Amino acid sequence: MWLHPREDERLASLLSYGILDTVFEPAYDSAARLAARACNAPAAMVTLVDRDRQWFKAVYGVEGFVRETARSDSICSDAVACESVLVIEDVLSAPRFAHSALVAGAPGIRAYAGVPLIGRDALPLGTLCVVDWRRRGFSHSELEDLAALARSVVTHLELRRVDTSLGRDSQCLLRDALDSLRLRRAIEAGEFVNHYQPIVDMATGGTYALEALVRWRHPELGVIPPALFLAALERTGLMHALGRSVLSDALDLVAELRSTSGLVKVPKVAVNVSGTQLGSSGFSGTVAEELSARGLMGSDLCIEVTESVPLLGTEVAAELVELRSYGVGIALDDYGSGNATAGQILELPLSAIKLDRSLVGVVTVSERARAIVVSTLKLAEQLGLQASCEGIETTAQRDLLVESGARLGQGWLFSMPLERERIQAHLTRPEPGR
């Protein structure tokens, strides 16, 4: 069995994509189907060559095909080892493969053409290949088309690699979320809905604000949490449409409560906004129009931005400055999860910071976590920023946070995220004591 000259580096590169042993995905299935059609072949595969096996990410034209075979039986392994296009017009004439399970048995490969998938590290990961059940050649134009499709497969692999490094592995996403047309239909059909989690004044138990948390009310699967779809939306222009829907519903809720609830003070709403939305020119103007259309003030709304969004020195910062000029609050979300910098706190027009649940969850058992919480609360006070704590689940956590100087808290100790229909009843109930 031939090996690539930099085999160990090649295998390490392959593993870095996190693609092995994942489910079939539409992008790779489509590439295999198009490859077969472009080459007038009955079958095509996207293969990845691991240390001892050949693993198939996509298979077209073969029913009941196995997901992996021994590398010693792999024609694609030779294409990877040589790092070049490999064409075999009659596989039976190649002694190395005559007894291969895929040649001697089903499906009975007789002709093969494969193009290596060259990744970002300039190392071959596998192939996009087509096969036939008869002896045949492949034209120059067919091989050119196959090479072009192989480059598109590599593009998808690179996107996956980036997503994996950012914790946005498509294996963790709902399959429907990988289909942009399905996502658009879901937005247009109103399948995405807001749930609202109270942000509580921990001294009184009263609700200070409501954070809008989007959910997918899937017609077959029920209510789906954002971890299973939000990353997919962030990779598309559809995030703008969803963001407008979330903002509109949140502001409608405030206007509705103001006119029907009889509350002396209606809580503001907090809406999470992605860098994709903030990076679009005119976002702040859209927010101003939405507020004005409902007779609301900027102070009725807080925009929450995640600390992982690159904010400094970009159009995003300008949008935030304009939002603050309207009186809209700006909160740095997930503070303490690892990416925030002093520059973000000092240079951005923030009005608040939210301590991440990763700190809050261990504050009663970790001296370091408590020290970070205390110092962050003091920093917020010195800078005139409002601070709140996310993910509070126990009375011990609440009491320690209050003792450390925290006023606002959010978490299942106070309330789970509630459907919009339940908000008014929640707000008009008698305020609980501590």
What is the mean predicted confidence (pLDDT) over 249-278? Answer: 91
Q: What is the CATH number of domain 7-167?
A: 3.30.450.40
Please provide the distance, in angstroms rounded to a whole number, between the alpha carbons at the two ends of the chain. 71
Cis peptide before 107 (omega within 30 of 0): yes
* Active-site option among 25, 367, 390, 393: 390
> Looking at residue 187, what is its pLDDT?
94
Structure tokens at 283: 């976002």
CATH number of this structure's domain 173-428, picked from the four choices 3.20.20.450, 3.40.30.10, 3.40.190.10, 1.10.10.10: 3.20.20.450
The half-sphere exposure of 373 on its side-chain side, counting CA atoms within 13 A, is 30
Q: 234-240: long-range contacts (C-beta < 8 A, 24 or more apart)?
A: 234/168, 234/274, 234/276, 235/159, 235/163, 236/180, 236/183, 238/180, 238/183, 238/184, 238/187, 239/274, 239/276, 239/277, 240/276, 240/277, 240/280
Ranges of CATH 3.20.20.450 domains, the chain: 173-428
Share of the chain above pLDDT 90, in %: 63
Q: Indicate the helix (H) or strand (E) that contains 184.
A: helix 180-188
Residue range(s) of every CATH 3.30.450.40 domain in the chain: 7-167
Distinct helix (H) and strand (E) counts, the chain: 16, 16
pLDDT at 179: 81
pLDDT digits (tens, 9 = 90+) for 113-150: 999 999 988 999 999 999 999 999 999 999 999 999 99
390 is catalytic: yes
Backbone angles phi, psi at 302, to 5 degrees: -125, 130
361-397 residue pLDDT tens: 899 999 998 999 999 999 999 999 999 999 999 999 9
Which range has the worst mean pLDDT, 191-195, 227-231, 343-347, 397-401? 343-347
Give me the pLDDT at residue 434, please.
42
